Amino acid sequence: MDEASGDEPQREGVVTVALKPAREPGTTARRLLSRLRDVMAGSGSAQIRLEKIVTLIAAEMNADVCSCYVMRAGDILELFATFGLNPSAVHQTRLRVGEGLVGDIAAHARSIALANARTHPNFAYRPETGEDPFQSLMGVPIQRGGRVRGVLVIQHTAKREYLEEEVETLQTVAMVVAELVAAGELVSAGEIATTADIGMLPTRLSGISLNRGLATGLAVLHRPQLTIRQMVADDPDREMQRLNDAVIAMHSAIDDLLRASEVAGGGEHRDILETYRMFAADRGWLARLREAINNGLTAEAAVQRVQNETRTRMTQIADPYIRERLLDLDDLTNRLLQHLAGKRSEAETGTLPDDVILVARSMGPAELLDYDRRRLRGLILEEGSPASHVAIVARALDIPVVGQVQDVLSRIESLDPLIVDGDNSQIFVRPAEDVQDAYALSILARSQRQRVVAAMRDQPAVSRDGIEIAINVNCGLLMDLPHLHDSGAAGIGLYRTEIPFMVRSTYPDVETQTTLYRKVLEQADGKPVVFRTLDVGGDKMLPYFTAQQEENPAMGWRAIRIGLDRPAMLRQQLRALLRAAAGQELRVMFPMVADVSEFDAAHAIMMLELDRLERRGESQPTRIRIGVMVEVPSLLWQLPQLVQRVHFLSIGSNDLMQFLFAADRGNPRLADRYDPLSPTMLSVMSHLVEHCETAGVPLSVCGEMAGRPLEAMVLVGIGLRSLSMSPPAVGPVKIMVRSLDVDRLRRYLRGMIDSPSHSFRENLRAYAKDHAIMI
């Protein structure tokens, strides 16, 4: 390591500290933290204390420069204090997030250590700082509450390699600085808020629906972050004992959650909490906490440091399962900090309003269950996905959830009146009186409609002219199974086998899969169940399955393509299905089949497993029905060959439509550009109906079209006799069918399909109104 010459001339306005041999890092960190604690507790303004802190860091870490940049409104990093750079640059030098090395650290929430910073492509020269002589640079993000609040930087005149222990020391120091930055003295909380003047006006926010339903209530902001007052341990042995006691108390509290009535039964939500309990007992996590205490931190600071380090690593990973583990880690961190502080969470204080709408950036599954179920009405998240653990638990509790609502925590105040519309993926903040009245009527009408649906649950789905329609449900979790009987559905038209795989941390073996599928068939109680083999890949990756990033994953390596390329996976799943269905009928369909040869290959694997079953003398299903999901347009030109091989076909309208129109269904710009009620889509559907009727092959639809009454009306009109949908859609579609004259509609549609129109939607809506069809 080079040393700076002691007689090197100084430039005007630049103080240069000669580089001395580094002290033992552990000793440096403990001494520095101790001295920083004295500065934090001392007198003077926040600005003065920050200036003392950078001077102290430079001295203790033998740095020529130490600078602190603080995040301002508009994603601007402002130089707030420095030792070694030109003092006149303070409050003058500004960088945007992503600009220069400092901006890059903030943009990616990661540390940088460079022996020759000036040659880095992201280096941005600021002449007013007088930083010309400094070669090496190390910087770390200042983080609090999962967000970057600034950047802490040291620089040296000589080129040098920074030790890992030095980086860790600066990261620990940044935690102390974060408390000063977040206190609101350097930058006011009002400046950070971007909706200051319009925040109190009625506002409509949109997101994605994670669970359907309507709810009204008052906002409760879920912000479990606790302020850590002491970073350095006075008595490490006592801190270790405090940690051990808090871990025991936390484990006991989680066990109480598992015994609660809402999750005491089986199902994926129970499995999720069992996995969460195992994560809380993870030896590696606990060992890292204890190591941090041994390095001189308090128990609270150790928990926060380990969480910051893990979050920085895990946020660089795109895998959805890893990100779900990050939410569990956030939950556990906050829970452990509460036990260390001896404080109850807001959920336990008893001061909640009667109608609670929870608002959070993200949540772990156990955090949701902390709240009083009798008061909980809805949930709004800045993050979240349909397969997230908190969304699955919320569905088990039957509360509406809207996720991916941008900046929701900065746009909603505590106790704001809210409306959560899970049906239309929107929320209303401080709604006007007319909006409140309209939604009150909607909730009342929904309740009345549910009573009507319940009353006709056992009534057949038969049209006015005597055409019977099989209305089935789509399921993917054991917790969905009660809806099969509650809704009065004829059966399960699509059981998505991949969803149970996605919520598990390891690939389920044949025995585990067999048990799962047997439970599904048992709970179906004799009603038909169609199992779709694994449709993974694309946006549905398994946490334990390594796959390369693809530019167009929806049309990439997924579904049956993976099954055929990894036949052991498909064989194990088919083996489990055959065993689970012993003594009863088994229906299986293969997804994403693009040509007949792919079906033939998958069918051959099924026959191999059936032969294996026979050789072993194991019980077999009484009958096996094998089908295909029609999603890829290329299959339309092989229908004559396909219908000779299959027992049934099912149209996956979601993928079929996006492939037919070359329109990514996840792209909001294209969401309404093409209509399923268009001549093109209806021509394709009619073509399928004709081929299947001629061959005597049953045909169904299991995409979103089937669950919307207007679209379902048209599907029935062109000849579909089996529809599969989400459970809440069963009642409205059944009401539509019972008010429909199918033959009259068929004659009306016959003359429309060859039309050049973009969409028939308004014509069909008018037809339904004119003929008193309940849509």
Tokens of 72: 């301002």
> What is the DSSP secondary structure assignment for residue 469, as one 8-state letter?
-
Asked if 725 and 707 count as a contact pair (C-beta separation under 8 A), the reply is: yes
Catalytic residue among 66, 68, 475, 702: 702
- Of 156, 389, 475, 692, the active-site residue reads 389
Instruction: Residue 92: count other Cβ atoms within 10 Å of its Cβ.
Output: 12
Beta pairing partners, 402:
209, 380
Residues 6+ apart with CB under 8 A from 540: 387, 498, 502, 558
Contact 146, 382 (CB under 8 A): no
SS3 422: coil
CA-to-CA distance for 321 and 507, rounded, in angstroms?
A: 13
Asked whether the beta carbons of 757 and 679 are under 8 A apart, the reply is yes
Decide: helix, strand or coil at residue 441: helix
Angle subtended by helix axes 268-280 and 236-259, to nearest 10: 170
Structure tokens at 519: 């439970």
Q: Is 404 left (phi over 0), alpha (psi -120 to 50) or beta?
A: left
CB 545 within 8 A of CB 642: no
Is position 702 annotated as part of the catalytic site? yes
Measured CA to CA in angstroms, residue 316 lies from 96, 311, 384, 443, 506 at distances of 21, 9, 17, 42, 21
757: which 2 tokens? 């129109």
- Interhelix angle 742-750/709-717, rounded to 10 degrees, is 80
- The half-sphere exposure of 56 on its side-chain side, counting CA atoms within 13 A, is 22
Measured CA to CA, the distance from residue 64 to residue 48 in angstroms comes to 20
Three-state secondary structure call for residue 726:
coil
Distance from first CA to last CA of the chain, Å, rounded? 77
Q: How far apart are CA 530 and CA 546, in angstroms?
A: 28
The CA dihedral of 385, 386, 388, 393, to the nearest 10 degrees, is 140
Task: Answer positive or negative: Cα dihedral of 36, 40, 45, 50.
Answer: positive
CB 9 within 8 A of CB 79: no
Active site residues: 389, 702
